[in-house]
Amino acid sequence: MEDYALIGDHQTAALVSRTGSVDWLCLPRFDSGACFAALLGDDEHGHWRVAPKDADVCTRRAYRPDTLVLDTEWDTPDGSVRVTDLMPQRDRAPDLVRVVEGLRGEVTVRSTLRLRFDHGSVVPWMRRADGHRVAVAGPDSVWLRTDPAVRTEGQDFTTYSDFTVAAGERVTFVLTWHPSHEPRPKPLDAEQALRDSVADWQAWAARCRYDGPHRDAVVRSLITLKALTYAPTGGIVAAPTTSLPEEIGGVRNWDYRYCWLRDSTLTLGALISAGYLEEAEAWRDWLLRAVAGDPSDLQIMYGLGGERRLPEYEAGWLPGYEGSAPVRIGNQAVSQRQLDVYGEVVDSLTLARRSGLATRPHGWRLQLALMEFLRHCWREPDEGLWEVRGPRRHFVHSKVMAWVAADRTVRAMEDDPALPGDVERWRRLRDDIHAEVCERGYDAERRTFTQSYGSRELDAAVLLIPRVGFLPPDDPRVLGTIEAVRAELSTKEGLLRRYTAGGAGGEGAAVVDAAVERATVDGLPGGEGTFLVCSFWLADALHLTGHGEEARDLFERLLALRNDVGLLAEEYDPVAGRQLGNFPQAFSHVGLVGTALALYGPDAAG
Ligand SMILES: OC[C@H]1O[C@H](O[C@H]2O[C@H](CO)[C@@H](O)[C@H](O)[C@H]2O)[C@H](O)[C@@H](O)[C@@H]1O
């Protein structure tokens, strides 16, 4: 999975392999059925390859600077060729544009288009219309338009085109999706779309306020986060994929094409810190719409438009990435209770206010309603930020984030005494939560905060305690926790697992296979890799506690884990040297931006 590059149009995204094959594309939205699902199966589940006829992996590839426009190049004995891939910003039907350009000599190129709608399960009926190819099945229709000189041939439910390009020649392909009952989509000028895409992305990237070391990595992460934003509503998906495994061959395969309040608020924080307020405003408005209603109905995630039902089922016809089954569509975690989201939501509303975003009159009312609900439920156990599917517990991180919600509410009222509400009520709540966490969530004997009250398990999420201001960085309990978490959760490569019993199984694995013990915490069999955002949190904690050099060293090691085009999945297996989990993952890129800003941004100390 680390071999893929991302292209997208702010409504959906595609993954392009090093062989020039688009192996994942959901149309028309991130959460629609994929028409190319080879990523989770094989070529028969849909893909579109454009590459020199006899070549395999490309010679080199890169994004055009500060864009999401991808250039993939092959050197062959006959010459060199480049394929440029992009999805133009959408004000119409979604398009996937592929421009083939001869660079040297004369090269025979083959396009192999195998459309399989509904996540690789439906073979469409293909026909010709006005010299183009049209695929139709149920609600979906796709047009393939190319230059008149390029002949397309259908065979075995696949469309082939073989053609030659000499140096300086260009051939364009445009694949356009539209609802099958609607009139045919208007043709797109591919060359103009390419110029516009480059200009739009570069203008967007130029607005980035970060100007420190590793700026390219930060901008690439910000572009990735922007690409995960669903423009029509402002919702932000956790990743554009489903079921890329947390363990190769394992069952920990989840659908991330939805908007988690946690992942979105953290993404928002990264965008705001780098100067992107428009996205923040759009997301804040998405949030206010999505959570409108009874605060007791607050969900931990929603659909792109704020949809509340995301039923989970298994796509039994897809064998899964390298056999990692089941492939899941939808996410049952939607009905979980995760108390930390109150803290994250209130924190991000506070950040939005402080960054000067125009306030919405019902924003404060919503915050108070959420707080009122939290006041009654914070003592209850929950599934925690890791969304365990085992029994509910009193997760320390959840309670700390409940404290964050109370703290930010108190501080907002102190900053602006005109805000209505009973500040004393929230001060009391803040103090009560603080006292309980320090009493029940801290193991004085081992000098560490634990994963849940009374447990001996540790959890990397408690590294956030100094960052959110629950305790100062020099508090001995914070220092003890950092030490304990490093001792118990880090691999010999210095990367962190998210909690104690997390094991990537197998002989010589960097982490222990403790499936039985693990099953008692998260209710799932099997292990997983190291969790990338946790390692960024460790770098932040090291920096905050005066270990700047170690923090920078860890940050640089994490940067080295990005793939050749700067992308990170959710997890990493240091033994196999492979990325794991959905890809690219907002959480990991948020971690990268946050740590860069902490270490080198305008407020970085020392
Ligand atoms: O590992 C078990 C859980 O994995 C997913 O949750 C993870 O991804 C979420 C989205 O990025 C993130 O918010 C959460 O903190 C992660 O643990 C999955 O969505 C869950 O269903 C699953 O139980």
10-residue mean pLDDT series, the chain (606 residues): 95 98 98 98 98 97 98 98 97 94 98 98 94 94 95 94 98 97 94 98 97 97 97 95 96 96 92 90 87 84 95 98 98 96 93 84 88 96 93 97 98 94 97 98 98 96 98 98 97 91 37 43 80 98 97 98 98 95 98 97 72
Pick the CATH number of 213-600 from 3.20.20.80, 3.30.70.930, 2.40.30.10, 1.50.10.10: 1.50.10.10
Q: Is the CB of 252 under 6 A from ligand 1?
A: yes
pLDDT value at residue 392: 95
**β-strands 140-146, 153-155 pairing:** unpaired
Domain 5-201, CATH class in plain words = mainly beta
Closest C-alpha residue for ligand 1 atom 7:
386
pLDDT value at residue 374: 96
Model confidence pTM above 0.90: yes
Q: Is the CB of 238 under 6 A from ligand 1?
A: yes
Closest C-alpha residue for ligand 1 atom 18:
254
* All structural domains of the chain with their residue ranges: 5-201, 213-600
Q: What CA–CA distance (Å, rounded) separates 42 from 27?
A: 19
Q: What CA–CA distance (Å, rounded) separates 233 from 68?
A: 21
Query: Ligand 1 centroid to 387 CA: how many Å?
Result: 5
User: For ligand 1, what atom is nearest to the CA of residue 498?
Assistant: 17
Q: Which of 299, 386, 588, when mutated, tests ligand 1's pocket best, judged by the most ligand atoms within 8 Å of its CB?
A: 386
Q: Residues 340, 386: contact at Cβ < 8 Å?
A: no
Q: Is the CB of 385 under 6 A from ligand 1?
A: yes
Q: What CA–CA distance (Å, rounded) separates 137 from 123?
A: 7
pLDDT value at residue 502: 43
Q: Residues 88, 195: contact at Cβ < 8 Å?
A: no
* Backbone dihedral angles phi then psi of residue 258, each to the nearest 5 degrees: -135, 175
Q: Is the CB of 587 under 6 A from ligand 1?
A: yes
Query: Ligand 1 centroid to 529 CA: how many Å?
Result: 14
Q: Which of 252, 254, 451, when mutated, tests ligand 1's pocket best, judged by the most ligand atoms within 8 Å of its CB?
A: 254
